[in-house]
Amino acid sequence: MSFDRLAPHYRWMEWILAGDKLQDCRVAFLEEIESPARVLLVGEGHGRFLEVVRTRFPQAEITVLDSSEDMLRVARGRAGNPTGPNPTRFEQGDALLWESAGKFDVIATHFFLDCFTAGQLEELIPKLARCLEPNGAWLLADFRVPERGWQRFRAKAIHRVMYGFFRAATRLTSTRLTPPDSLLERAGLRLEKRCIREWGLLHADLWRNPPR
C-alpha cells in the first residue's frame, strides 16, 4: 500500500469530493483536549489536521507517522516553522511495524483505520493503545455504514467506489470497512463522545484511556 502517487493531488481531490466535511470530522473534538505534552498523528497524510494541532498546541511535541514519504513531504510543507520549542517529528514507516519510543497524551487516526483488514486492525489497535497515557485521548474520524434504510444503501455504494479506486491507485489490501469499536474496547478504551454526519456516512469519535 502506497499513497505516494496521490500525495500531490490528495488535497484538491478531497475538496472536490467532500469540501470541508472530512476536516470538520478531524477537528470535531479537538476542543476537548487540554495542553497535551506529546501528540501522535498516525496516517496523517496531507497534513491538514497537523496544521491545526500545531497552531492550537504550539508547546506540544508532535510525531507524525505515515508510510508515504511523499505525503510526509506535503505535511512538512503545511507544518511550516513551529513557533514552540518542539519541532514536529516526521517518521516514515509502516504503522504495523513501528515501535514507539514513549507514550502520548493524544493519538489521532483520521481516515486511516479504514485502510486495514480486520486481521491487521486486531494487531494495530492494541499496539497503538499501549502507546496512550492513562486518561489519554484517541481522536478518530472515519467512514461508517448506517444500520438501515436508504442511508445504508447509499453508504455501501460509496464504499464500493471508494475501495475500488484506492485498491487501483494505492494497492490497498482492504476490500471493506471494519468497524473498530470492539477492538478499541477490548484494548481498554472507552467511547466518550461521538458525532455522526453526512447521513450516517461519517463519524468523529473521542475515545479515552481510563486512568489505571
Q: What CATH code is assigned to 4-208?
A: 3.40.50.150
Residue 180 banded pLDDT, cuts 50, 70, 90: very high
Helix (H, G, I), strand (E, B) or coil at 186: helix
- pLDDT band of residue 129 (cuts 50, 70, 90) is very high
Listed as own residue / partner, the contacts of 35-38 with beta carbons closer than 8 Å and 24 or more positions apart are: 35/59, 35/60, 36/60, 36/104, 36/105, 36/106, 36/137, 37/61, 37/105, 38/62, 38/63, 38/102, 38/103, 38/104, 38/105, 38/106
- The backbone region for 35, taken as left when phi is positive above 0, alpha when psi lies in -120 to 50, beta otherwise, is left
- Name the residue type at position 108: A
Q: What is the mean pLDDT of residues 11-40?
A: 93
pTM: 0.94
Q: Is the pLDDT of residue 83 over 60?
A: no
Q: What is the mean pLDDT of residues 36-64?
A: 95
pLDDT band at 192 (very low <50, low <70, confident <90, very high): very high
Q: Would you place residue 145 in the very low, low, confident or very high pLDDT band (cuts 50, 70, 90)? A: very high
Q: Is the pLDDT of residue 151 over 90?
A: yes
C-alpha cell at 107: 493519538
Contact 110, 140 (CB under 8 A): yes
Q: What value does the mean pLDDT of the chain take?
A: 93
> pLDDT of 98-112, one tens digit each?
999 899 999 999 999
Do residues 117 and 179 touch, judged by C-beta distance below 8 A? no
Residue 85 has pLDDT above 80, yes or no: no
